[in-house]
Amino acid sequence: MLKFNIRGENVEVTDSIRDYVVKRISKLQKFFEDNVEATAHVNLKVYPNRTYKVEVTIPLPYLTLRAEETSNDMYGSVDLVTDKLERQIRKYKTKINRKSREKGFKNLEFVPSDDDSASSDDLKIVRTKQVPLKPMDPEEAVLQMDMLGHDFFVFQDAETNGTSIVYRRRDGRYGLIEAE
């Protein structure tokens, strides 16, 4: 069941906007198992040039969905971001679940937990995250990295059980770092 956390920056979240966001994003629930409980974090922004940006993050037990879209219409941005999330889910279901079944993994999880603690040393670490490493192959890690919108992703290699990192290179291709 999806819960919603909707906030606006430079825009008042009216009942009609809230209802539209809930209606559109709730359609994604058909892809989730019945017992999944998640909170959809929706951020609505209005820029001085009258463009509207909608950001949605849905942390799930097995992945984190994230999408953002900007357009000249608030409702249009909500539609675009919902479509993008649906494409991500379909891509995830077809690729990751097939590979997981082929390799015999059951109920794989990727659950990020945030600890927004600031460090006072010279390195100025402003955020710390603890994430359980999910066993997967490098292709799955690239897919997960792309869905999160990150430039790198740390994972446990399913074949070697070692820790590895995939990253996006400047030329747009991907690299793999394997820890020894």
Mean pLDDT, consecutive 10-residue stretches, the chain (180 aa), reads 86 90 88 76 87 88 82 90 88 69 51 36 69 86 86 90 90 89
pTM (two decimals): 0.55
Domain assignment of residue 35, yes or no: yes
Domain span including residue 170: 113-178
Q: Which of 58, 74, 103 is the last residue of a domain?
A: 103
Domain assignment of residue 108, yes or no: no
CATH number at residue 123: 3.30.505.50
pLDDT of 80: 92
Residues 13 and 98 in one domain: yes
Considering only CA atoms, which of 144, 135, 60 is closest in space to residue 103? 135
**How many CA atoms lie within 13 Å of 123's alpha carbon, on the beta-carbon side?**
5
Determine which helix (DSSP H) or strand (DSSP E) holds 159, and give its type and residue range. none
DSSP string covering 27-69, please? Answer: GGGGGS-TT--EEEEEEEEE-TTS-EEEEEEEE-SS-EEEEEE
State the maximum Cα–Cα separation within the chain, in Å, rounded to a whole number. 55
Tokens 């015999």 belong to residue: 104
CATH number at residue 16: 3.30.160.100
Residues 12 and 87 in one domain: yes
pLDDT of 166: 94
Q: How many domains does the chain have?
A: 2
